[in-house]
Amino acid sequence: IRHGETDWNGEKRIQGHIDIDLNAAGEAQARAVRQGLQEHSFVAVYSSDLRRAWRTAQIGTAELGLAVSPAPTLRERHFGVLQGVTSQEARVQYPDVFHHHHARTPDYDYKGGESLIAFAARVTVGLEALAARHAGRNVLAFTHGGVLDIVHRAATGRALDAPRDFTLPNAAFNWVEHGTNGWRLISWADCGHLNRALDEVLE
């Protein structure tokens, strides 16, 4: 599950490792997650230690009876000098860096951040460790758009530098399975719980 919305999401400002909290809409999304999760069961819950994911996890799992464990491997990618700027600002202030960002250059590290190759390795090693620890069982993870980008590519075989052709909505459910042949995509960007919550507000 990607974290709920933040003000910086609305501004399309690159967050990376900068620790931004949820806004009111994000907290409402997290409450919708809590309702949606009542239909499912899990043996463990993990979350990125960044506030926007951690807060989503705390609200979203309040009725599951499970403690949330921190998982630093689920942290967002470190975007180096682009952290804290919008894409438009990056295009003007760091044109060379933005070029690599837009091109998804696999070995480029944003002048002190993480390259896609290093980031993907961190994410996949971390997720495979969780899968091995809880083999054959359902595990819940709260994380970020960049991490989910890597998860989707791992499950579909899409190259790191290929343009993204899938969505990463805030607070959506994304289901993947790990087995002897690696990762497999089951369902992606399920927003049914968010739509139901919106319908309840409008009624």
Chain-centroid distance of CA 76 in Å reads 7
Tokens at 63, concatenated: 């009725």
User: Hunting for tokens 């993947």 — which residue is that?
Assistant: 176
184-188 contacts: CB < 8 A, separation 24 or more?
Answer: 184/155, 185/152, 185/155, 185/156, 188/152
Task: State the catalytic residue, choosing from 5, 39, 76, 102.
Answer: 76
Task: State the catalytic residue, choosing from 3, 78, 152, 193.
Answer: 3
Q: Which residues contact 121 (CB under 8 A, 6 or more apart)?
A: none
Contact 182, 156 (CB under 8 A): no
Strand partners, 139: 44
Is 76 known to be catalytic?
yes
User: Hunting for tokens 């700027």 — which residue is that?
Assistant: 85
Q: Where are the beta strands (DSSP E) in 95-172?
A: 139-142
DSSP 3-state assignment of 82?
A: helix
Active site residues: 3, 76
